[in-house]
Chain A
Amino acid sequence: MSIRRTVLAAALFLTYTLSLSEGTAAAPQFEIKLGKPEFVLPQFTGPYQEREASIALEEYETAERLRELLDAGKRQQVLAELEKFYSIELSPAMLMLQAQIYFSLEMYDKAEATYLEVLKRMPQLIRAHSDLGQLYLVREQPQKARHHFARAVALGSNEALVHGQLAYLNLTQYGPYSAISSYQQAAALEPDNFQWQQGLLAALIQARMYDAAEALLDEITARKPNMPELWLNKATLALHKEDYRRALTSLEMALLLGNEDQRNLQTSAKLHLQLGSYDRAMALLEKSFGRNDFDIASVTEYFTWLSHLELWDDLKKLLDIAGKHLGKLKPAQQSRYYLHMAQLEVQRKRFTQADQMFNRSLNLDPTNGECLLAYAEFLTKQKDYIRAELLYMRADALSSVEKQAQLGRAQLYIEMQNYKSALELLRQIHQKYPDSAGVKDNIEIIENIIALDKSNDTKLR
């Protein structure tokens, strides 16, 4: 039977390759030599009887009575009947029934012991292995579950569920390559079961078999075009291939179908920014910021992006949108928002407003090192050296920005032509951070300047 099927498959394959070569007659001829299809006979592992359990002749009467009780939903009564016997007095089939009832009544310890008892007597009983696998899944013992599903498959189980669950456990315990074949088997047995296709897709993506994943995805989306998850998968694949336009189209499709995940909205917005469709990006950001899980990190990310592109108007729009949701943020996060506002005002040369925003930021979080540095740098450019120096000194006390604060202050002293203080500070920095690039060169330059100043003074005297 299986040989006939394989022959049929081989014949179809040949027909397929022939029609392909006919269809591409005008194209350059490439000859591909295909290997002959191979037949792999199943390994003989003993009589099939050992993998099945049948009721003993003398049990038929009892079995019939129990079946009636089960049909009437009297599982406890069935158990009571079975528990009158020692396990060895029951056939494996009856023991399986007992184990299944324990399982269904959530008496997991007894169910496990009974299944193990069955396997002690019939180690090749497929059903016992697959049931025990399920039990261990329920009891969150995935390694034991995998062992029994694998045994069931090795013994010839042809249940899609067993293959699918083995695939899932392989995927989580051993990675994608060990899962693909089992998912394919499950999907072959139950082609309409979406769970197996999803699993196979996940495994293919994890294994970076993007072409196969894409082909599978195309097939599934053709059948289920309204599932946002599928479009998200398409977007993911397109991103892997750096096909941003297709990624964006798929992502927008997912959003249109109702997926409103914050991260997806933001990724979509980023892609729009990258592809230059700023209005849509802003609309998506507005939607994204309106959510409860709005966070300042994403604002910072867009801020950096838009600053890099020097899109100040869009940056203003972004901050205006974010500003509407400031109430959801903690003071430290609000401080970061006002820092961005200040930086924008600096770019727009609105220095008074910038000064106000810096102050507001520091009022909200006096330990905002980034703000202390940016504000000090701003004041240095405004030649407000005294306030700048104070800010650098405040930043110096924060370990996260200590080095930048000292370098900034040294720069400030140079601007003020206070070379002696600059030199002293640079020497301190060099001692503390000997690997800092350029510090030693700057020390030498300043030493030369000081020496030159001294010789000039001497000459003048």
Chain B
Amino acid sequence: MKQQIFGLLIAASLSGCAGSVKEVSCAGLDWEDFGYQTGKKGKSVRTFDPYRDGCGENLEPGAMNQYLDGYTRGIIEFCTYENGYELGSENKALPDVCPTELKPAFAKGHSVGIIEFREKLSKLKRFNEDEASMQERTSAEKAADTSYGK
């Protein structure tokens, strides 16, 4: 069994105000699978930064290359027109993780998804407006009937 080596690093939040100590494993991981899963979920390649920076020389030899091999496979699977479309249609932001050559198709899918999302939204809005005006009309008619009956 591979020996577990750990590295410590200070994981700073984006605001840079707070810092916390995090422990990462420097050896014994299936680096390629880790990379693949990271890429496939559309996470940034920089997910590896804590390992690279925190482990330094303790990082298992070949770990980064294995991670990148897996990540490349994963990100190629992620950065498709279909996935872009799915994110767009859920009105999610376009992540900046795709390699240059895959970006156009992914972004196009996202745009189409966003347009559809917006169309759905405006349809819903119109529907709601129609409903509201119909309700208003019905209420007005009822009120008129009541006064007429009197």
Contacts and interface: CB of A to CB of B under 8 A. Distances in A.
Contacts of B46: 86
B57 interface: no
13 contacts: A56-B103, A59-B100, A86-B68, A87-B72, A88-B68, A88-B72, A88-B99, A92-B101, A120-B72, A121-B72, A121-B76, A121-B99, A122-B101
Interface in A52-96: 53, 56, 59, 86-89, 91-93
Nearest to A55: B100
Interface in A84-128: 86-89, 91-93, 117, 120-122
Nearest 3 A-B pairs (CB), nearest first? A91-B100, A56-B100, A86-B45
A121 B71 contact: no
Interface of A: 53, 56, 59, 86-89, 91-93, 117, 120-122
Contacts of B101: 53, 91-92, 121-122
A86 B75 CA distance: 13
Contacts of A88: 45, 68, 71-72, 75, 99
Query: Is chain B's interface secondary structure helix, strand, loop, or mixed overall?
Result: helix
Contacts of B34: none
Contacts, number: 32
Nearest to B45: A86
Contacts of B117: none
Interface of B: 45-46, 48, 68, 71-72, 75-76, 99-101, 103
A296 B90 CA distance: 92
A121 B72 CA distance: 8
A117 B103 CA distance: 18
B34 to A, nearest CB: 14
A89 B72 contact: no
A66 to B, nearest CB: 16
Contacts of B100: 56, 59, 91-93
A99 B68 CA distance: 17
Nearest to A56: B100
A59 B99 CA distance: 12
B103 A87 contact: no
A120 B102 CA distance: 13
B103 A89 contact: no
Nearest to A85: B45
Contacts of A53: 101
A89 B45 CA distance: 8
